[in-house]
Amino acid sequence: MVYIAPSLLAADFSALDREVAKIKQADMLHIDIMDGHFVPNISFGPGVVAALRDKTRLLFDVHLMLEHPMPYIAPFRKAGADVITFHVECKDDPEELIAAIRSSGAQAGAAVSPGTPASAIGDWGRHLRQTTVMTVNPGFGGQKLMLDPLRKIFQLKYRFPHLLVEVDGGVNLETAPLCKAAGADILVAGTSVFQAEDPYLEMRCLAL
């Protein structure tokens, strides 16, 4: 059983409400937040997330690609985030971030970029709901999945059996079976779902 999380980054930004309606059978909506510092791109702010909150009942899986996520936890929670994920490579303290996320009422996640070892998730990993194994360098959709990071799924699950492990970047019909075989619980899929002729069928096939 794998959960499918379409990434809003690949949606048509001029009609986000219609785009979100196309994927209402998904398990969650993955929302990439970029600050132009941690990654060389800028995406959505809390206002966009809040505007979508009453358009869908999907769980909001908010992926913060921010150098300093701390000041943005409360605003994104208020905007409707259910899961808030920070990067282990960011400049804020992971334990303080987890405490802030949990006390906001959201669940916490931590993401590791392709070049970062799974061991960068310290013992504090036991307080997380999920970890995100990035299979592309964060910043842009539509990139090719790197196979090497998939080994981190096993390493993380071995240390933290309760964790849900999400794979993010380059997931499509060709690469999804590899992610599932490596033990992924959640597949983020942007381009593959939103550019598909039939996003529902694409999600069903990704989950097979």
Can you give the binding site for Zn ion, defined by CB under 5 A? Answer: 32, 63, 168
Query: How many amino acids of this chain bind ligand DX5 (CB under 6 A)?
Result: 21
- Which residue's CB comes closest to ligand DX5? 190
CA distance 80 to 74: 10
Retrieve residue 48's tokens: 């966009």
Just list the catalytic residues.
32, 168
H-state helical runs in the chain: 16-22, 46-53, 73-79, 94-104, 151-159, 176-181, 191-194, 199-207
Judged by CB under 6 A, the chain residues 150 through 179 that form the site for ligand DX5 are 168-171
- Which residue's CB comes closest to Zn ion? 63
Q: Judge whether 187 and 4 are in contact, CB under 8 Å.
A: yes
Q: Judge whether 166 and 190 are in contact, CB under 8 Å.
A: no
Q: Return the C-alpha torsion angle 127, 89, 161, 153, nearest 10.
A: 160
Output 40 or 105, the one with its CB closest to ligand DX5: 40
Q: Min. distance of Cβ 129 from Zn ion in angstroms?
A: 16
Strand partners, 33: 64
**Of ligand DX5, Zn ion, none, which one sits near residue 177, judging by CB under 5 to 8 A according to partner kind?**
none
Amino acid (1-letter code) at residue 54: D
Tokens 């070892």 locate to 117
**Of ligand DX5, Zn ion, none, which one sits near residue 190, judging by CB under 5 to 8 A according to partner kind?**
ligand DX5
For residue 78, what is the DSSP state? H
**Of ligand DX5, Zn ion, none, which one sits near residue 196, judging by CB under 5 to 8 A according to partner kind?**
none
188 near ligand DX5, rule: CB under 6 A: yes
**Of ligand DX5, Zn ion, none, which one sits near residue 170, judging by CB under 5 to 8 A according to partner kind?**
ligand DX5
- Interface residue list for ligand DX5 (CB under 6 A): 7, 9-10, 30, 32, 63, 136, 138-139, 141-143, 168-171, 188-192
